[in-house]
Structure 1
Amino acid sequence: LFGTDLPSRVCSLNESQVIVDTNCFTSPCNFAQEQREESDCTATCGLVPPSTLPCGGRGYCNWDMDRSQAKCACDAGSAYMTDHAACVTSTGTPWHASQLPFLKELRTSWKLDGRDAPRGWQAGDDCKTAEVLTCDDAGMITQLMVLEDVVSGEIPESVGDLAKLSIIVIRGTGSRSANYGLTGAIPESISQLTGLVELELSNVRLIGDIPSALFTLPRLTRMVVGGYDAQPCSIPQSISQLSNLVELELSNVGLTDGGVPSELFTLTDLTRVIIRDNGYQPFSISEPISQLINLAELELSNVELTDSVPPALITLTHLTRIIIRGNSEYYQSYYSQSFSLTQSITQLANLADLELSSIDLTDSIPSELFTLTHLTRVVIRTEDYSSFSFPASISQLTNLVELELARLDLTGGIPSALFDLTHLTRIRIEGHFDEFGSIPQSVSQLTSLVEIDLSKGIFTGGIPSELFNLGDLTQHCVSRLTPVGVTTCSLIHDDTAQASPTCSALSGAQVLCAALRPCVVRCPAPRC
């Protein structure tokens, strides 16, 4: 009765009954609104190609009696657009048809904050409203950015088909034991994204190697890769092809085969290089580092250096941040990280942050370091108790916020000028001490101070109560501040005497004064 134009093997006159591959069944072409989901007409109506039409979330599959074919019946306010292969609204920007396979994979494999259906991922949706995805006016995906949302799933292989994609940033927010997080390997297809400018996959649970082809993307300016479960990988010599690379960060990726190839140092546009937790494999930072004339930030944390840090590092005058942490605090170390601070450090006039931890200083800390007036943070922890005395130039560090000097053989005491640096929020000085004089009352100027640790200090004078009256001081250690040779003990507290106002100001610290001097101030443990 339908005539010769109908599909073969029609079971009855009921337009919702269609046969496919000799199997006759009833297909819900006009299913209810609450049952709608993105699907093509083959899945919905049981039709075989070429009558295959994905209707998107704003329409449903129906049978066209006049044309004897499947079509999308669109909701009010929507119309079917062939270019986008979906029912789309009359306003907004619909997804381009070429993006639909990726969107379908994304909906299948990803959850965003535990949700299966994030906003804007359906074929007919306005792409400008999509979560974590950015599109252009043609409906092509240009950015994939997960910054604060909790994502779980794998990166779809079809990501390589997104011809306009220029930025991928996925920052994991879960812990190592969390149920959520990006997993799996970096797909090989990502190397097809020749327009990719920025790639960040950080704090994610990646497995497998970093695809070597990733290091050949010609427009890449920023690469940040780091995860919890990454397998050992190598940086190929082809990294030299990343001629536009400005920022490189590799964290917990287990570098092998010598670590960083010398070709890295040919990338003269680099301004930021960070390598953290590269495992047990040692590598070398060589003299060619002097070619990185634009380098502003260098961090090598928990790494095994096979030789000393080259003096050429001091010639990179754009440096604002140097952090070099040996790994002896975390692993059994077989290599000694040595570093020389010479008088030429004055060339680093822009240096704001200097940290040298778990290293051997080959010579003393030059007084010239304390003339770098942009310094806001100085942390030096040696392994060999290098000798050090505070120079008078410490008073020039008027912008200093954090000072830590640990495992040093300190002579000459702590100068009162240190307590004139009113921006200080943290002071830690620990090592072999001479007997010092008093902590000056000028400590009261440090109104921003939140932490002070002067462990093992032996003070021949008193400990001023002003230290404990600083309102923001939340962490202090005076458990080993032992004033010796004190003739009077003004901070007296025992079981029979009422605590003096000064004692009460010590935030619960017990001040004990024996019949024979000296006084000993003990903080409640743990304070340090």
Structure 2
Amino acid sequence: MRSMRLFLLLSLNALVLLEAYRFTDETDRQALLEFKSQVSEDRGFLSSWNNSFPLCNWKGVTCGRKHKRVISLDLGGSQLSGVISPSIGNLSFLISLNLSMNAFGGTIPQEVGNLFRLRNLYLHSNILGGRIPASLSNCSRLFDLYLGSNHLEQGVPSELGSLTELYVLYLGNNNLKGKIPAFLGNLTSLSILDVGSNNMKGGVPDDIARLTQLDALQITENNLSGVFPPVIYNMSSLEYLYIAFNNFSGGLRPDFGTLLPNLLELNLGKNYFTGAIPTTLSNISTLEKLAINNNSLTGSIPRSFRKLGNLQWLHLHGNSLGRYTAGDLEFLDALTNCTQLESLLVSDNRLGGDLPASIANLSENLISFSLQNNFISGSIPYEIGNLISLQTFGLGGNMLAGPLPISISELSGLKVLSLSSNRMSGEIPSSVGNITRLEKLSLFDNSFEGTVPPTLGNCTYLLHLLMGYNKLHGAIPREIVQLSPLLTLSMEGNSLTGSLPKDVGRLVHLVKLSVEHNNLSGRVPQGLGNCLSMEEIYLQGNYFDGDIPDLRGLVGVKRVDLSNNNLSGSIPGYFANFSKLQYLNLSINNLEGRVPTDGKFQNATIISIFGNKDLCGGVKEVQLKPCSAQPPPKRTKRPFYLRKVVIGLSTCLALLLLLFIASVSLIWFKKRKKNQHTNNPTPSTLGATREKISYGDLRNATDGFSSSNLIGSGSFGTVFKALLPTENNLVAVKVLNMQRHGAMKSFMAECESLKDIRHRNLVKLLTACSSIDFKGNEFRALIYEFMPNGSLDMWLHPEEVEETRRPSRTLTLIERLNITIDVASVLDYLHVHCHEPIAHCDLKPSNILLDDDLTAHVSDFGLARVLLKFDKDYFLNQLSSGNVRGTIGYAAPEYGTGGQPSIHGDVYSFGVLVLEMFTGKRPTSELFGGNCTLHSYTKSVLPERVLDIADQSILHSGLRVGFPAAECLTLVLDVGLRCCEESPMNRLATAQATKELISIRERFFKTRRTARR
């Protein structure tokens, strides 16, 4: 019996051995060949997988020593694609399977669960979809499970909670949904848990606290919410903690650093954490990387960070740290002890005070350094050249002054230098050209002067060159347009002269060319058509002449502005075929001929061509004269003697005609002088292309000037809404009170001011009526576009308006900011870009009208003056009719002492308007009297108490208080204060005010977008 048992045992062992050896080439070979049949490849990685080679010599295949079965299949990073064959489950001796970093699609086969000996499964970095197979729980010996960076969906199967030997679970960067499963707390051997970059919601389950050996926890980029997960405070073994890009809120515990003392890396960025930075973080002596960026943290940056001797990264950007005061930057002195520091990012905060010279003593290992978009003053220390490893240096969006130190050229490895939107001055050092690895140079919006250094041509890696809105002069160096990698060339708003270099066509990668508002001249180079990557071209406001060159190759262009030049010839038809074109402005040139009507020219909203008097045709909406049916006949050349006779006769006839005109004019002038007080004509330029409007038409359209149609009244008349028979839309009719002294002068001033000017933010004057009423009285009226949202005044002070006319809501912060930009831009147009400068002289909220989408339109030019002399350096304009006072509270102080109307007076009124819009207080409020004005009141509380003086309706209109509202309000009110300075010579120019307001708006949007991520 015993011998029988022994025989059976030996037979069973023999069968097992036979299975192991006999089927090596039968099972494993067939499984691998079946796997290969489902795979595509270009590199021939699997070329050895054939019958000519022994199985164990196939590439990527490892066999066991005893039984020669496949125990490892390593095809990671082999550029394979296709699907994973279910036959992979037949490799029953497999211990390690690595198919990572390929392009396998489809799903993970359920048959992988048959590999009960499997210890390591690496399927990450593919494009696998579907669910995680619950059958993986059969692989009870799994140690490493890497399924991240795929397209896996649904939730995590509960069966995985049985894999108690699991050491690494990587599920990050998929599309997994649901909550973080509580059963993951069963995986007590787990050291690394990564479920980041999915679509999980809820919080972190308390069961995770059982993972006492957990070293790394990654839950970033989900939709997790609540306060900082309390369970994490109990996980003292953590070395790597990443919970960024979620919706966690609330404050961090003050004892944070003592609860998690072993951290090497801590990333809490892009949440909604509030309160102060825990000072105990400085007790984590092992800390190497600390990121709490893009939250709502306040208070100061702890100086105790000096104790973090191993610190390599400190990212605190995008918070509300600092108090706009000098002590805000003391932490920089402390960080000089952190000799391993490589990245210091503290931009987009509230840091104030002078930039300390100690920044030059920061770590020599520092690679990235950014303090952008704060309130830092002072200057860049000369010793900045000590930071020899620096690659990114950002101080833009501050209030730095002084020159750019020559020592900046010692930073030979610098790739990004961003100093835009400061107050820096002096010349740009030619030694900047020694920074040959520079990829982005941003000096935009400063006061740099001198010429553009030709040495920048040495920066052969340069991608973005931003030098707009400075005081640069001279020519654009030819060396600049030879930088073939250049993507952005921005030099607008300077005083550059000469031509646009012909070599501009060498910039084959250029996406944006912006040289508008300079003094460039000559022809637009033909080579511009070779910049095939171009998307935006801005050449407006220069003196370019000649024809528009052949740009038909720029098929990807989106925006083109060639306005305000001296261009001639016809409009090229190729613009019609630019499928991506969103904006084409050819206005105010000398273009002639027929306007195309096909393609993009069918959409008049994206095409602007006004101010070209010899254009004709086009679609109906552009309102041009029709083109002649036949071209004018060609002139035949007359003989020379005949031409002399013709010239002589023409001269005699011309002299006779002049005598006749002079006689008639003299008679007419005498009659006009005699009847001057009873027959003042409307300027002939008005209504030239409009049908004449009679008194009877206006009376009928307003129902006898009924109070039911009354929409406002002013110093010289009343305004009614009306639907005229000649108009398809409602219009506003301003009827002058001719009994009021100055009404006729106001009427003439408004006609004269508006007859030749066009701007999107001016109320459009349609026509005028100069007649007599039914009683024989003199009648004058002006007809404007109707503004359905009324005046800005009624929006700012709704409590003073009849209930039936009150706006249904309040203006938001961004809407008010948009309105200030609208008004500033129209003032800049009136002051600088008109043929003759115009001073409005009565800017106030009641004269700002709002259309359907709350775009602002400046109205009421009854006190406007066309300035006979315009000089930016002097504010007195000697006019014979200079008794302009405007409105109390808004009129400039010099007007009260006999000063003449000037653009500086408009700037003062605009400054008061800005303060009123954002504080909600009129300049004539009872709060102000004696030495207290709206100006002094605002200035006294900035910046610390900006939210206290702000119009509370802004803060209650859905705005997230404190971030970035306070910064935005502070910056806007600062612009207002600088506009309404007492001395005219200290006031901002409208161009500068517009530029700063646009910059504030862009920063506001950028910060809010960043905060929401």
> What is the TM-score with the length of structure 1 in the denominator?
0.66
Given the alignment, which residue of 371, 376, 379 partners 2:442?
A: 379
Contact kept in structure 2, 1:370 and 1:396, CA below 8 Å: yes
Closer, same or farther: CA 490–422 of 1 in aligned 2, 3 Å: closer
For 2:218, the aligned partner's letter is M
C-alpha distance after superposition, 1:335-389 (max 9, x if no partner): x412432332221111111010222224311101012111111000243x32131
Of 273, 276, 282 in structure 2, the residue corresponding to residue 215 of structure 1 is 282
C-alpha displacement of 1:295: 1.8
CA displacement, residues 285-336 of structure 1 (integer Å, 9 cap, x when unaligned): 3222232222222101111224323222222211111110234xxxxxxxx4
In structure 1, distance between residues paired with 2:460 and 2:534: 20
Q: Distance in 2 between matches of 1:90 and 1:452?
A: 61
Quote the offset at 1:168 in angstroms: 1.5
Contact map agreement 1:88 1:94 (CA 8 A) in 2: no
The equivalences for 1:118-267 within 5 A come to 118=181, 121-123=184-186, 127=190, 130-132=193-195, 140-172=213-245, 181-188=247-254, 190-191=256-257, 192-230=259-297, 232-256=298-322, 258-260=327-329, 261=331, 262-267=333-338
* Equivalent residue letter for 2:213: M
Residue of structure 2 equivalent to 1:312: 383
Task: Give the whole-Å Cα distance in 2 for the aligned partners of 1:310 and 1:416.
Answer: 32
1:142-180: CA deviation from partner (whole Å, max 9, x where unpaired): 11223433322332223232132111222216xxxxxxx
Structure 2 Cα separation of the partners of residues 113 and 482 of structure 1: 59
Give 1:213 shift.
0.4
Report the 3-state secondary structure (helix = DSSP H, G, I; strand = E; otherwise coil) of the residue aligned with 1:431.
coil
Alignment gaps of 5+ in structure 2:
1-136, 141-158, 169-174, 197-207, 552-561, 563-568, 593-603, 609-759, 761-997, 999-1013
Match of 2:165 in 1: 93
Equivalent of residue 513 in structure 2, options 447, 452, 457? 452
Corresponding residue for residue 122 of structure 2 = none
CA distance in 2, matches of 1:183, 1:505: 51
Are residues 1:285 and 2:355 paired?
Answer: yes
Which residue is 2:418 aligned to? 355
The answer to whether the 8 Å contact 2:294/2:317 transfers is: yes
Unaligned ranges ≥5, structure 1: 1-75, 80-86, 97-111, 174-180, 328-335, 517-521
Q: 1:268 to 1:283 in 2, by over 3 A?
A: farther
Instruction: Give me the whole-angstrom Cα distance separating, in 1, the residues matched to 2:192 and 2:264.
Output: 23
Is 1:427 aligned to 2:502, yes or no? no
Report what 1:108 is aligned to: none
Q: 1:322 — aligned with what?
A: 393
Q: Write the distance in 1 (CA, Å) between the matches of 2:528 and 2:249.
A: 50
Q: Which has the larger radius of gyration?
A: 2
- 2:405 is matched with 342
Question: Do 2:215 and 2:237's aligned partners in 1 also have CA atoms closer than 8 Å?
Answer: yes
Give the corresponding residue for 1:467. 528
- Equivalent of 1:299, from 338, 347, 370? 370
Secondary structure at the counterpart of residue 276 of structure 2: coil
Identity %: 21
Deviations 1:441-499 (CA, angstroms, capped at 9, x unpaired): x3222222111211113332111344255332222323334414x4x677899xxx985
Alpha-carbon shift at residue 224 of structure 1 (Å): 1.1
Q: Cα distance, 1:126 vs. partner?
A: 7.9
Q: Give 1:366's aligned residue.
A: 429
For 2:138 and 2:392, locate their aligned partners in 1 and report how far apart those are by CA, in whole Å: 56
Identify the residue that residue 617 of structure 2 maps to in structure 1: none
1:256–1:362 distance in 2 versus 1, CA, 3 Å = same
Residues 339 and 322 of structure 1, relative CA distance in 2, 3 Å threshold:
farther
Structure 2 CA distance for partners of 1:342 and 1:188, relative to 1, 3 Å: closer
The answer to whether the Cα contact below 8 Å between 2:466 and 2:490 also exists between their aligned partners in 1 is yes
Aligned length: 399
Measure the CA separation in 2 of the matches of 1:419 and 1:503.
Answer: 25
Paired residues of 2:165 and 2:187 also in contact (CA < 8 A): no
Does the aligned pair in 1 maintain the 2:294–2:319 contact within 8 Å?
A: yes
Contact 1:469 1:505 in 2 (8 A): no
Kept in 2, the 8 Å contact 1:339–1:361? The answer is yes
Corresponding residue SS for 1:369: helix
Q: Is the 8 A contact 1:227 1:253 kept in 2?
A: yes
- Residue 92 of structure 1 deviates from its aligned partner by 4.7
Note the C-alpha offset of 1:524: 4.7
Q: 1:94 to 1:500 in 2, by over 3 A?
A: closer
In 2, distance between residues paired with 1:306 and 1:414?
31
1: CA distance, partners of 2:166 / 2:404: 59
Amino acid at match of 2:473: T
> Take 1:299 and 1:378, find their aligned partners in 2: how far apart are those partners?
14
State how far apart, in whole Å, the 2-side matches of 1:438 and 1:77 are: 72
Q: Please tell me the residue identity of whatever aligns with 1:290.
A: A
Q: Distance in 1 between matches of 2:339 and 2:282?
A: 16
Instruction: Tell me how far apart the structure 2 counterparts of residues 464 and 482 of structure 1 sit (CA, whole Å).
Output: 13
- d(CA) in 1 for partners of 2:396 and 2:465? 16
Higher strand share: 1
Alpha-carbon deviations, 1:251-272, whole Å to 9, x = none? 2333347223321222122121
Whichever residue aligns with residue 355 of structure 1, its letter is S
In the superposition, relative to structure 1, how do residues 499 and 247 fare at CA in structure 2: closer, same or farther (>3 Å)? same
Task: Specify the SS of the correspondent of 2:423.
Answer: strand
Match of 2:474 among 407, 412, 417: 412
Write out aligned runs for 1:65-84 (5 A). none
What secondary structure sits across from 1:461 in the alignment? strand
- Preserved CA contact (<8 Å) 1:92 1:128: no
Structure 1 match to 2:460: 398
Counterpart residue identity of residue 250, structure 1: L
Distance 1:503-1:461 versus aligned 2 partners, 3 A rule: farther
**Aligned residues: CA RMSD:** 3.8
Q: 2:590 aligns with which of 486, 511, 514?
A: 514
**Paired AA for residue 357 in structure 2:** E
- Does structure 2 conserve the Cα–Cα contact (< 8 Å) formed by 1:196 and 1:217? yes
Which of the pair has the greater relative contact order for Cα pairs under 8 Å at 6+ separation? 1
How far is the alpha carbon of 1:435 from its aligned partner?
2.9
Output the CA distance in 2 between the equivalents of 1:131 and 1:387: 53
Aligned to 1:443, what secondary structure does the other structure show? helix
For 1:491 and 1:445, locate their aligned partners in 2 and report how far apart those are by CA, in whole Å: 16
Q: Residues of 1 paired with 2:425 and 2:586: CA distance?
A: 42
* Mean Cα deviation higher: 292-301 or 429-438: 429-438
